[in-house]
Amino acid sequence: MHDAALNILLLIGTFLVAGMVKGVTGMGLPTVAMGLLGMMMPPASAAAILVIPSLVTNVWQLFCGPSVARLIRRLWPMMLCITLATVAGSAWLVKVNPAWSGFSLGVALIVYAMYALIAPAFSVPERLERWLSPMIGLATGMVTGATGVFVMPAVPYLGSLHMSREELVQALGLSFTVSTLALATGLLAHDAFQVAQLGTSTLAIVPALVGMWAGQVVRRRISPKRFRQCFMLFLIVLGVELFCRPFF
C-alpha cells in the first residue's frame, strides 16, 4: 500500500514538472516525463502512461492557430514516414532489455539537450524539403520507436523550414500528435498498452495541465532563456544516468 501511494505521488510529481516545462518552453513534456519515469519503470511502460497526457497537450498545441490545414498539406510525407517508422520501431521499446532501451533513451536525451544548448542556426532550402522531409520522418520514427522520445531530429528540422513562430508551434504540435498516436498504435500492437495503463495515463492529464498552467505563470516572471538552459542541463543529467545504467 505504501509503495502504491509513493508511486502515485511520483507520477503526479513527474507530470507536474513535465507540464511546467511545456508551459514555459512550449515543448518538453514527453521528454521530461520519459526521462523521469524511465528511472522508475521500463521505458515501454513509461511510454504507455505518457500517451494520453501527451496527446491532449499536443492536440491543443496543434489547434492553437489558423495554419492546421496548410501544415498538413505541406508536411504529410514527413508525418506518414514518422507513423510507419514509429509503429515498426516500437518493437525495440517493448522487446529490448529495459536497461538497454533506457540506454537508448539516455542517448536521445543527451543529444537533444546538447543540440538545444548549442542551437546551431541552419535552414533548409525549399527545393530540398520534398525529399528531405520523408527522411527526417523515418529517422524521427525510428528514434521514437526505440526510446519513446520524439524530438530528434524533427524539432531542429522543423525549426529550419522558414516558418513563422506561430506556424512552428503548430508544426511541432502536429509532429508530436502524430508521433504520440503512432507510438500508442505500436505499443498496442505489441501488447504493451494495457487497460490499467490507459486509466493511469488519463489520470496524468490533470497534473500535466496544472503544470502547464504553472509554467505559463513562471514564464511571465523569469527569463525563458535561463529556464531553458537549466532544463537542458537537467536533461543531460537524466540522460547520463540512463546511459550508465546498463554498466552498473
pLDDT-derived band of residue 180, with 50, 70 and 90 as boundaries?
Answer: very high
Convert the pLDDT of each residue in 90-132 to its tens digit.
Answer: 888 888 776 787 788 788 889 888 888 887 667 888 889 999 9
pLDDT-derived band of residue 27, with 50, 70 and 90 as boundaries?
Answer: confident
The better pLDDT of the pair 196, 213 is held by: 213
125 in Cβ contact with 86 (< 8 Å): no
Kindly give the interhelix angle for 2-25 and 224-244, rounded to the nearest 10 degrees.
Answer: 140
